[in-house]
Amino acid sequence: MTSYARHPRPPRPRWRRRAPAAALSLALTAVAASGLAATPAWAAGGYHITATIGVGSSPQEVAVSPNGTRAYVTNYDSGTVSVISTATNHVSATIGVGIRPFGVAVSPDGTRAYVANSGSSTVSVIDTATNHVTATIGVSSFGVAISPDGKRAYVTDSNYRGAVSVISTATDHVIATIGVGHYPQGVAVSPDGTRAYVANDNYPASVSVISTATDHVIATIGVGSPPYGVAVSPDGTRAYVTNVNSGSVSVIDTATDRVTATIGAGHSPAGVAVSPDGTRAYVTNANSGSVSVIDTATNRVTATIHGPCYPNGVAVSPGGARIYVVNGMDQGTVSVITGP
C-alpha cells in the first residue's frame, strides 16, 4: 500500500491511509525547528503576519462576517467556536457547540453562523447578535456553505457513500439529500447561487457539481488526489480545488466543467480562499507551514508566506485587506496576515 502524508488529526478524520505517526512527528518537529511555529512579523512579497490570536484546542476552519467585524473559528477538540473581534484581534466570545466542530459559514446578512459538528452529526445555528445556539439540526456533517440568498445551507456528509444535505434556513430542517462522491469534504456555492461544488476525497478523486434548482449532480470533474478545499471566484467563472497528496490546486472553468490549469503549491494544500476582487487565491499548505498566493490571471504562485504552523482553514476579509489563517494541530491560534 502506498504511504501518504495524511494529517494525524483533523482536518481529515475519514482518511484511511496515513503516514506512520513517527514520520509525521518528525515532519512537524522539522517545521518547528525551522522557526515556522513562531509568530514573527514575517514578510514575503509584501505580506506580513500582524497578529497571532489564541483560540481553542485544535482549531480547524474560519469564516468572516459579511461586514468584516468578526471571525468565527471552529475548535475541534474543544467543541467550541471562538468569536474574534477583528478590530481588536481578541476573542470576544466562546460558544459551546457540538462534538468535533469542523466547517463554519456565516449567512449573507450576518445574523447567523452555521457550524458542522462532525462528531455529533449535527449542525449548530448561532445567533450572531447574542452568541447563543438557537437550533441544533440532526444531520451528519463536515463542511458547510450558505447560498447567496441565505435560504439554504449545504452540508457535506463525509462518509464513504457520500451525500450533501440541503437545509432550509427558514425552518432549520433538511429538505433534500443529494448523492455525491465518496467522502465529500469541502463545499462552495457559486455567487449566483445556481451551483454547488463538492470536493470528494475518495477514488476517483473528483468534484461534484450540483444544480441548486434541481438538487441533482449535473457534472463530475476529475481533479488531483485527494481534493479537499474548494472556493469559487467572485465572478463565478472559476473554482479552485486543493489536492492534498498531489501538492497542487486544480482550476476549474465553471462554464465547461473542465480543469484548465493545475498549479503546484506546497506540501498538503488544504484550505483555499479567493480575494474579493478575484485577483488572488490563498492556499494553506499544512505540512509546509506556509500560504501560497496565486495570481488568478496567470495561474502562478507569486508569493509564499511562511509563519503559520500547520495551517488549515483560511478566509479573507470582505475588503481583502486581511487574511485569516487557522493554525491547526495543537497550535490553537489564528494568524492575521496583511497584504500589499
Mean pLDDT of 221-227: 95
Assess whether pLDDT exceeds 80 at residue 330. no
Q: Given this model, what pLDDT does residue 256 score? A: 98
Is residue 314 a contact partner of residue 284, using CB atoms and an 8 Å limit? Answer: yes
Amino acid at 295: D
Q: In which residue are the cell numbers 462534538 written? A: 99
Listing from the earlier edge strand, what are the strands of the sheet with 269-274?
269-274, 280-285, 290-295, 300-306
**281: confidence class by pLDDT, cuts 50, 70, 90:** very high
Q: Any idea which fold 21-338 has?
A: Methylamine Dehydrogenase; Chain H (2.130.10)
**17: confidence class by pLDDT, cuts 50, 70, 90:** very low
Q: Where along the chain do its domains lie? A: 21-338
Tens digit of each residue's pLDDT (9 = 90 or more) over 175-215: 999 999 999 999 999 999 999 999 998 768 999 999 999 99
**26: confidence class by pLDDT, cuts 50, 70, 90:** very low
Tens digit of each residue's pLDDT (9 = 90 or more) over 242-274: 999 999 999 999 999 999 999 999 999 999 999
Pick the range with the lowest mean pLDDT from 7-21, 83-97, 209-223.
7-21
Q: Given this model, what pLDDT does residue 68 score? A: 97
Q: Given this model, what pLDDT does residue 8 score? A: 32
- Give the predicted TM-score (pTM) of the model: 0.89
- List Cβ neighbours of 129 (8 Å cut-off, separation of 6 or more): 111
Provide, rounded to the nearest whole percent, the portion of the chain with pLDDT above 90. 81
Q: Given this model, what pLDDT does residue 43 score? A: 52
Average per-residue pLDDT for the chain: 88
Comparing CA positions, the residue from 79, 67, 93 lying closest to residue 10 is 79
Is residue 92 a contact partner of residue 83, using CB atoms and an 8 Å limit? Answer: yes
Assess whether pLDDT exceeds 90 at residue 4. no
Mean pLDDT of 97-110: 98
Tens digit of each residue's pLDDT (9 = 90 or more) over 56-80: 999 999 999 999 999 999 999 999 9
Q: Where are the beta strands (DSSP E) in 180-289?
A: 184-189, 195-200, 206-211, 216-222, 227-232, 238-243, 248-253, 258-264, 269-274, 280-285
**CA dist., res. 258 & res. 7, Å (int):** 29
Provide, rounded to the nearest whole percent, the portion of the chain with pLDDT above 70. 86
**CA dist., res. 153 & res. 137, Å (int):** 11
Is residue 28 a contact partner of residue 297, using CB atoms and an 8 Å limit? Answer: no
Mean pLDDT of 300-312: 93
**CA dist., res. 301 & res. 294, Å (int):** 4
**124: confidence class by pLDDT, cuts 50, 70, 90:** very high
Assess whether pLDDT exceeds 50 at residue 24. no
232 compared with 225, residue with greater pLDDT: 232
Assess whether pLDDT exceeds 70 at residue 277. yes
Q: Given this model, what pLDDT does residue 158 score? A: 80
Whole-angstrom CA distances from 190 to 51, 92, 187, 198, 232 are 31, 31, 10, 11, 6
Q: Given this model, what pLDDT does residue 45 score? A: 72
178 compared with 10, residue with greater pLDDT: 178
**160: confidence class by pLDDT, cuts 50, 70, 90:** low
